[in-house]
């Protein structure tokens, strides 16, 4: 379909959106053009999820939606009413790191840290999917997460260590 | 992103009514193509109709027909035991596409309707007949290394980007469409239209029509199927060339063959004459090469994509070797 010039739709007022954010029910007033990523960062104050490319190419915005890893930059917030969202802020059990977080520290699986929240949530999702059993599987499963520092070998090692301990 | 109205559809009928009411409405399922292109200002919907909660995500088998709901997620379909067993090419195609995160969000219906990756389409400063009908095509004499060599026109050489549709095309899938006059089922081939003089029209879907399912027939031919994707990176990249094939061997000859190509066509490209060339032949290099040459006979290349002809031919031979068990 062509991108013809049409009068823009009148801006729609914000509507109430309730979802489960890191285990707690949360309600926001949200306009249609707010992505899940912008909701998390700018409305909920959860800036752990990063805006890298904002176009679905880098994986820095990865979160778990109902336990499955997905890109929050390509999702409209309003489409996630009632969903359970897990961000990096909600992954640890109190002061005890999630095993994937602990493994990233143990294996020095980051340098600047910008891609790390997305890497960790993607790894948690990939392990749960059951297709991160070998080095090749891990590399394939993690191909949606870019690391400009090139920490890839240590990221693979961290995920493999979590896999072995399971 | 431009302002738009967001509405949740309570049923598929309601979704279609909502779509017919407004010029420039879009269905929202996984969002992975639509939100991306809205950010690029290529898609400018006035109304976004959220269909993501409609009960259209089931994968069901009735007799020898496997019906995949249009809202089934790519990852769920790829790992479904029935799909892996009966239609390996479909599973392989899905797993070769996008990334784990995107496969968890993207749906089967949305996947079929994904838009081309042509950079002149995706950037509004260039001329593009698909995006702005009649404006011209900057890809024709631009950097067209990724562009199509089959099914092109003087108006458009954008390649169809998907993997799934290529596998479905080879396996003679059918698409269930809900419209104003009820449900109709069309061959996947008949969903897509060649660009011709109107590249802005990509499918035969009418206003307010909704894809609700894809159907595949479980048969011996489809069990021996394979999807081979050639790309610049090993993962998370679109195809330069891809091949979906299926064969049924009878004793020492090929009884039936199916062949479709991705990355080289403006639509998922079924190579029927190449299939005919394989039928009755003994599986081997001679038959594979003949089929490969037949499949690319009508290729029309531009400045940077002539390599795709040879690449596609080699990929066809390799995919056929693999599926016939005559060496990888």
What pLDDT, in 10s, does the model give residues B249-296?
A: 998 999 999 999 999 999 999 999 999 999 999 999 999 999 999 999
pLDDT in the model for residue B160 = 98
Q: Give the closest of A4, A54, A71 to B101, CB-based.
A: A71
Measured between CA atoms, the residue of chain B closest to residue A72 is B101
Residues A79 and A106 occupy one common structural domain: no
* Mutant choice from A71, A72, A118, A120 vs B, greatest count of B C-beta within 10 A: A71
Residue A135 pLDDT greater than 80, yes or no: yes
Task: Tell me the average pLDDT across A18-24.
Answer: 98
In this prediction the ipTM stands at 0.96
**Which of 222-241 (B) contact A at CB < 8 A?**
234-236
Residue A2 pLDDT greater than 70, yes or no: no
Residue A6 pLDDT greater than 90, yes or no: no
What pLDDT, in 10s, does the model give residues A66-100?
A: 999 999 999 999 999 999 999 999 999 999 999 99
A44 in a structural domain: yes
Residues A60 and A78 occupy one common structural domain: yes
Task: Tell me the average pLDDT across B195-219.
Answer: 97
A12 pLDDT band, cuts 50/70/90, is confident
Residue B52 pLDDT greater than 80, yes or no: yes
Residues A47 and A109 occupy one common structural domain: no
Residues A106 and A125 occupy one common structural domain: yes
Q: How far apart are CA B307 and CA B171, in angstroms?
A: 27
Residue B305 pLDDT greater than 80, yes or no: yes
Which runs of E-coded beta strand occur in chain B? 5-8, 25-28, 47-50, 59-62, 65-69, 174-179, 182-187, 210-217, 225-230, 241-250, 253-262, 269-270
Residues A20 and A85 occupy one common structural domain: yes
A4 in a structural domain: no
Smallest CA–CA separation between B193 and chain A, in Å? 12
Residue B144, φ and ψ in degrees, nearest 5:
-115, 35
Residue A32 pLDDT greater than 80, yes or no: yes
Q: How far apart are CA B24 and CA B34, in angstroms?
A: 13
Q: Do B131 and A143 touch (CB under 8 A)?
A: no
Task: Tell me the average pLDDT across B28-52.
Answer: 98
Chain B hits for A129, Cβ within 8 Å: 75, 100
Q: Do A3 and B44 touch (CB under 8 A)?
A: yes
Residue B40, φ and ψ in degrees, nearest 5:
-80, -5
Residues A85 and A103 occupy one common structural domain: no
Residues A32 and A82 occupy one common structural domain: yes
Measured between CA atoms, the residue of chain B closest to residue A1 is B200
Q: Do A143 and B52 touch (CB under 8 A)?
A: no
Q: Do A74 and B130 touch (CB under 8 A)?
A: no
Q: How many percent of chain A have pLDDT more than 90?
A: 92
Residues A58 and A113 occupy one common structural domain: no
Residue A8 pLDDT greater than 70, yes or no: no
What mean pLDDT, rounded, does chain B reach? 97
Residue B328 pLDDT greater than 70, yes or no: no
Q: Considering its fold, how many domains does chain A have in total?
A: 2
A59 in a structural domain: yes
Domains of chain B, with CATH numbers? 5-52 (3.30.43.10), 220-324 (3.30.390.50)
Chain A hits for B236, Cβ within 8 Å: 143-144
Q: Do B104 and A69 touch (CB under 8 A)?
A: yes
What pLDDT, in 10s, does the model give residues B54-65?
A: 999 999 999 999
The residue out of A33, A60, A90 marking a domain boundary is A90
The tokens describing A43, both together, are 């409305």
Smallest CA–CA separation between A73 and chain B, in Å? 8
Parent domain of A46: 15-90
* Residue A79, domain CATH: 3.10.20.30
| Start-to-end C-alpha separation, chain A | 49
The residue out of A68, A90, A112 marking a domain boundary is A90
Q: How many percent of chain B have pLDDT more than 90?
A: 98
A24 in a structural domain: yes
The tokens describing B128, both together, are 């593009």
pLDDT in the model for residue A3 = 54
Chain B hits for A139, Cβ within 8 Å: 235
Residues A83 and A112 occupy one common structural domain: no
Closest CA to B155 of B120, B192, B104: B120
What pLDDT, in 10s, does the model give residues B128-167?
A: 999 999 999 999 999 999 999 999 999 999 999 999 999 9
Residues A30 and A77 occupy one common structural domain: yes
The residue out of A90, A120, A145 marking a domain boundary is A90
**Cβ distance B127 to B110 under 8 Å?**
no
A166 pLDDT band, cuts 50/70/90, is confident
Q: How far apart are CA B49 and CA B14, in angstroms?
A: 10
pLDDT in the model for residue A5 = 60
- The CA-atom distances, in angstroms, between B65 and each of B61, B75, B83, B172 are 6, 20, 11, 12
């Amino acid at each position: 379909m062509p991108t013809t010039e049409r009068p823009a739709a009148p801006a729609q007022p914000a509507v109430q959106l309730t979802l489960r954010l890191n285990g707690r029910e949360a309600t926001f007033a949200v306009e249609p053009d707010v992505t899940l990523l912008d909701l998390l960062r700018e409305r909920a104050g959860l800036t752990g999820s990063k805006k890298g490319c904002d176009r679905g190419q880098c994986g820095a915005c990865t979160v778990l939606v109902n336990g499955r890893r997905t890109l929050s930059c390509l999702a409209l917030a309003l489409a996630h009413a009632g969903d359970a969202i897990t961000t990096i802020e909600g992954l640890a059990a109190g002061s005890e790191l999630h095993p994937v977080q602990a493994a990233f520290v143990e294996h020095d699986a980051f340098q600047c840290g910008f891609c790390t929240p997305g890497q960790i949530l993607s790894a948690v999702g990939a392990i749960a999917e059951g297709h991160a059993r070998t080095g090749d599987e891990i590399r394939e499963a993690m191909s949606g997460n870019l690391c400009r520092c090139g920490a890839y070998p240590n990221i693979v090692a961290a995920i493999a260590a979590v896999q072995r301990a399971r | 992103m431009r302002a738009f109205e967001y509405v949740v559809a309570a049923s598929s009928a309601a979704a279609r009514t909502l779509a017919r009411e407004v010029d420039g409405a879009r269905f929202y399922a996984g969002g992975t193509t639509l939100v991306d292109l809205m950010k690029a200002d290529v898609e400018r919907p006035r109304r976004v109709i959220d269909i993501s909660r409609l009960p259209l995500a089931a994968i069901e088998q009735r007799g020898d027909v496997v019906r995949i709901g249009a809202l089934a997620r790519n990852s769920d379909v790829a790992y479904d035991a029935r799909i892996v067993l009966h239609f390996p090419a479909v599973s392989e195609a899905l797993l070769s596409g996008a990334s784990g995160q995107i496969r968890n969000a993207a749906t089967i219906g949305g996947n079929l309707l994904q838009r081309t990756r042509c950079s002149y389409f995706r950037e509004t400063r260039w001329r593009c007949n698909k995006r702005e009908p009649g404006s011209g095509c900057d890809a024709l004499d631009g950097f067209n290394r990724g562009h199509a060599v089959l099914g092109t026109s003087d108006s458009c050489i954008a390649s169809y980007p998907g993997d799934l549709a290529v596998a479905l095309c080879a396996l003679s899938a059918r698409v269930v469409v809900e419209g104003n006059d009820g449900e109709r089922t069309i061959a996947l081939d008949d969903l897509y239209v060649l660009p011709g003089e109107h590249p802005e029209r990509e499918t035969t879907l009418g206003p307010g029509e909704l894809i609700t399912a894809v159907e595949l027939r479980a048969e011996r031919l489809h069990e021996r199927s394979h999807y081979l994707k050639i790309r610049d990176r090993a993962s998370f990249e679109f195809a330069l060339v891809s091949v979906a094939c299926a064969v049924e061997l009878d004793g020492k000859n090929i009884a039936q063959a199916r062949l479709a190509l991705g990355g080289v066509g403006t639509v998922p490209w079924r190579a029927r004459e190449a299939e005919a060339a394989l039928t009755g032949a003994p599986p081997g290099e001679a038959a594979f090469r003949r089929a490969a040459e037949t499949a690319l006979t009508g290729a029309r290349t531009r400045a940077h994509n002539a390599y795709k002809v040879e690449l596609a031919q080699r990929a066809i031979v390799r995919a056929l070797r693999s599926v016939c068990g005559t060496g990888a």
